[in-house]
Amino acid sequence: MKKQAAAVFEKLLSAYDRHHSIGDITPTFCRLFGITEPECCGAQAIAPVVDHAAKIFGGEGKTERALLFCTDAMGDHQRELFPEAFNKIARVAGLRIPSVSVSPSVTPVCYGTIFTGTAPVVHGILKYEKPVLTVETIFDVFAKAGKRVAIVAVNDCSIDRIFRQRNIDYYSCRNDEVSFARTMEILESDRYDFIVSYMIGYDAAQHSFGCESPEAAAQAALAAERFEILAQTMDKYWKNFNRVLTLVPDHGGHMIDEVHGAHGTELAEDMLVSHYYRLFEKSRESK
């Protein structure tokens, strides 16, 4: 499984001339927390992130809290369309990792890869469908290691469906606003070590009104604003912990007619994304 996945990633990296795939998230967070990666994982931990963490946290595996903000369809094409929003994200994060998505570039296939570290042919979601994954995921290995894990997402979306039946908590929300409010609540009460929080807004707007429409622009700006709020909230309520905030888009998107945006192809507009990492050391006074 590992070799098969590694071969798929290798091919994608060379085809799109990138050093990292979206699947690298899983081995990277396993290294950050000092947890063994899922058995099917064929992706590779991102050295600049792991090294930076070891440097500022004083060793490997010393991350204590993480929040992964999954902004659907906020790829590198969107980064070109909305420089202001993405500059804000980059400023807040500090570290940008240009990455390549997987094919077909649709949400359940991509997040399936992101949270298993393996290729679609191994995790089994090969098209737009939302079965519960049967391979080992990052959620399984974190739960097994005693970490408290939560997924906060809009009801019935891919992330809400494909990672069910794990020993973690699921917050299935009516819309993005409720989902963001829940995320803030559980951050403030420090109930979890590892939180995945999903935002569907930009993707929904690009499908309905176009990638560059005012509606889509507003959602991109909102995602950047929420990323900044999450960083500030973590600094307040997680200040006693080594912490990581990451922006985790799944794919990008492009125009398919005069009005509508979409994704799912192997075009660069769909396949190229960047993941943003913000690492912060626990406050020294509390040590």
Instruction: Summarize as ranges the residues that interact with Zn ion (CB under 5 A).
Output: 72, 107, 250
Smallest distance from the beta carbon of 224 to Zn ion, in angstroms?
A: 18
∠ Cα 55 58 59 (to 5°)? 85
Residue 1 or residue 223: which is nearer to Zn ion going by CB?
223
Residue 186 or residue 273: which is nearer to Zn ion going by CB?
273
Smallest distance from the beta carbon of 24 to Zn ion, in angstroms?
A: 18
Smallest distance from the beta carbon of 188 to Zn ion, in angstroms?
A: 28
Reduced to 3 states, what is the DSSP secondary structure of residue 268? helix
Burial 132-164 (b: 16+ CB within 10 A, else e): ebebbbbbbbbbeeebbbbbbbbeebbbbbbbe
Nearest residue to the partner Zn ion, using Cβ: 107
Residue 72 or residue 76: which is nearer to Zn ion going by CB?
72
Smallest distance from the beta carbon of 203 to Zn ion, in angstroms?
A: 5
Residue 21 or residue 242: which is nearer to Zn ion going by CB?
21
Element (H, E) at 192: none
Segments of 203-284 assigned E as strands = 243-247, 254-255, 261-262, 272-280
Smallest distance from the beta carbon of 154 to Zn ion, in angstroms?
A: 12
Separation CA 32–CA 63 (nearest Å): 5
Residue 76 or residue 193: which is nearer to Zn ion going by CB?
76
**Could you tell me whether strands 169-173 and 261-262 are parallel, antiparallel, or unpaired per DSSP bridges?**
unpaired
Orientation of helix 214-237 relative to helix 201-209, angle to 10°: 180
